Structure 1
Amino acid sequence: MTTHDPIPARLAALKSTPTLDLKHQWRELFDSEPPLFNRRYLESRLAYRIQELAYGGLKPETVRRLERLGEELDGGDRKKSRIRADMMPITGTRLIREWQGVEHVVTVTTDGFEWQGRPYRSLSAIARAITGTRWNGWVFFGLKNHRRGR
C-alpha cells in the first residue's frame, strides 16, 4: 500500500490561492495577523510553516548555528538586526538619484551607505550633502513607502 503525501499538492496550491485566503491560512497557521509584506513573502512563509508542522522544524543545532552566524553579522544586537531586516535595502543595492542634472549613486553597505567613496551612517546625511538642505533620506531616494510600510 502506498501512502499519499498531501503536502506537495498543498504547497503547489499556494501559487493559485487568492491573497485573502493566504491571509486566512496565515492566521490559522501562525495564530497572528499576516504581515504587510507582498504575496510572494506570504507564500514562502506559509510553505515553510506547512512543511514545518508536517515534517518538523529545524534541528536545535541548526538553529544555534544560524543564531551564531547572525551574531557575527550584527554583533548580537537584536535591535540592529531587526532594523536591517525590516528597513534596510539588501547590502550591495545601488540607489540612484538624479539631482539638478547630476546622477548620484549610493551603495548600501553592511554598516550603512557609501557615496563618492565615503561611508555614511544615514541616507539623510547623503541627501543633505547632495542638496545642501535637510531631507529625509528615505524620501529623497524614493524609499519612503518601503520604510513606512514596515
Structure 2
Amino acid sequence: MTRRSTTKAKQQDTAAPAPAPAIPKIPPAQVLPRLAALQTAPTADLKHQWRELFGKEPPPWNRAYIQSRLAYRIQELAYGGLKPETVDRLVALGEQMDGGNVVLRRIRADGRPLAGTRLIREWQGVQHVVTVRQDDFEFEGRPYQSLSAIARHITGTRWNGWTFFGLRARGDA
C-alpha cells in the first residue's frame, strides 16, 4: 500500500459514526397488540425491540424487567410521556425527601425493597412472584421471613435470596 492510500484509509477509519436511527412513533391502535406480544416474544426479539425503541443496547437484566420497560416505552411513544409539570413536581418531592442529595436518593436505610414491590424470577421455565410486605415476604399466599427461604423452597438448594432474585450481584456484601 502506498503512503497516499494509507493516509486515505486512516481518514476513512476516523469518520464520524452514523447517526442513531430515529425512534419510531407508535400508533395508538398498535399498543394493545404489541403489549400482548411482549408476553410470548423470545428474549432476542425483546432485545431487538429495546434497541429500536430506546436507541441503545438493552441492559443485562432479567426478562421481566425488559418486558415492563418495553411496555411502558410502547405506551409512552403512543400516548406521550409525563408532562413537564409532573416531572418537575416529582423532582421537587424527591428533593423534599432527601434535601437534594442525589446519593441519598439511591440508598434506602435498610436496603430492602419498598412494601408492595413484586419480585419476579423465572426458574426452570416457571415464573415465581414474591410480594414484599412491610415485615416479611409473601409467596404462593404464605408469609416468609426471608428471600433465602423462598429461594430454597423454589430450588430445593441453599441460595442467597437477594442474589436469587437479582437484588444483589454474586459476591456483593
Query: TM-score w.r.t. structure 1 length?
Result: 0.55
Larger Rg: 2
Which residue is equivalent to 1:90? 113
Cα distance in 1 between the residues matched to 2:74 and 2:64: 15
The code of the aligned residue for 2:82 comes to L
Query: TM-score w.r.t. structure 2 length?
Result: 0.48
Which residue is equivalent to 1:42? 66
The code of the aligned residue for 1:60 comes to P
Which residue is equivalent to 1:135? none
Q: Which one of the candidate residues 75, 88, 112 is aligned to 1:51?
A: 75
The code of the aligned residue for 2:78 comes to A
Q: 5+ unaligned residues in a row in structure 1: which ranges? A: 96-104, 107-140
Which residue is equivalent to 1:21? 45
- Is 1:79 aligned to residue 103 of structure 2? yes
Cα distance in 2 between the residues matched to 1:91 and 1:40: 18
- Call closer, same or farther: CA 1:40–1:59 in 2, change over 3 Å: same
1:51-80 residue CA offsets vs partner (Å, 9 max, x unmatched): 111111111111111112222333322233
Q: 5+ unaligned residues in a row in structure 2: which ranges? A: 1-26, 116-133, 137-144, 147-159
1:90-123 residue CA offsets vs partner (Å, 9 max, x unmatched): 146658xxxxxxxxx89xxxxxxxxxxxxxxxxx
Q: Is the 8 A contact 2:31 2:74 kept in 1?
A: yes
Q: Is the 8 A contact 2:31 2:75 kept in 1?
A: yes
Which residue is equivalent to 1:65? 89
Q: Is the 8 A contact 2:28 2:79 kept in 1?
A: no
Q: Percent identity?
A: 55
Q: How many residues align?
A: 104
Which residue is equivalent to 2:169? 148
